[in-house]
Amino acid sequence: MSVKILDYYIYSETKMELIEYLRDIKHKVHIVSGNPEVLYSGLSNLELKENFKSEEAVIIPDGIGTVLSAKILGTPVQEKIAGIEVMEEIIKFCEDESKPIYLLGAKQEILDKCISNLKMKHPRLEIVGSHNGYFNIDECETIIKDIEVKMPYCIFVAMGAPRQEIFITKYMHWLPCTIFMGVGGSFDVISGNSKRAPKWMIKIGIEWLYRVLKEPWRLKRLSSIPKFIYIAVLNRNN
């Protein structure tokens, strides 16, 4: 079910096998979109690292650097699993099974459009609450109270890495949700504010190139990929 890279256990089965697992889960789970940037941040943050290593975390191989690391180490995963695709599948079964969700993050106008589009595509989906991502995560008692009162089954947090993972790690034991997931720029995609790469680029593993071409500022963030692979190979026997 998983392969080890550094101190992390990366989910190694297919996306649909993951969704079937999540459908039946009875305990809290943090779905970590395990690209090198997210996992690299966990190496220098003790709280994140402990959360990522815990039994409550499911790290999906969301990033070509993670997929390559697993392959180089001789323990390949079955497929790259994109976080936004997992989010979409969770939303489908939440709609089917009347499980409410909460959306946290992004700019207010992006969040509003995201909610509007989700309601249009999933008319039976119960979105019980939302809040934009512009707040102090150490002083957000009103937001925490709102989530507690609304009692969502799943919360999607779109505040960028590692801020969204820090929020989840800090509050997941306080909140009534079962599924917690940091989803990065997924609200932007769902709202129509940005687009994913063409399917052929996704299929051959160069979605990252499309993102860099569209948003050149992402280029600096790509440095985490070779760093992560190097550290993973260097510590392969540990």
Secondary structure of 100-132 in the HEC alphabet?
CEEEEECCHHHHHHHHHHHHHHCCCCCEEEEEC
236 pLDDT band, cuts 50/70/90, is confident
Q: What is the predicted pLDDT for the residue at 131?
A: 98
The CATH number of 44-233 is which of 3.40.720, 3.40.50, 1.10.3470, 2.40.10?
3.40.50
Confidence class for position 225, pLDDT limits 50, 70, 90: confident
pLDDT digits (tens, 9 = 90+) for 64-110: 889 999 999 999 999 999 999 999 999 999 999 999 999 999 999 99
Mean pLDDT along residues 12-21: 97
Domain ranges of the chain: 44-233
Instruction: Report d(CA 94, CA 98) in Å as an integer.
Output: 6
Q: Is the dihedral of CA 189, 193, 194, 196 positive or negative?
A: positive
- pTM for the model: 0.95
Looking at residue 238, its pLDDT comes to 67
Residue 8's SS3 state is strand
Which residue has better confidence, 59 or 198?
Answer: 59
pLDDT tier for residue 23 given thresholds of 50, 70 and 90: very high
Residue found by looking up tokens 């998983």 in the block: 2
Q: Quick one: pLDDT at residue 223? A: 76
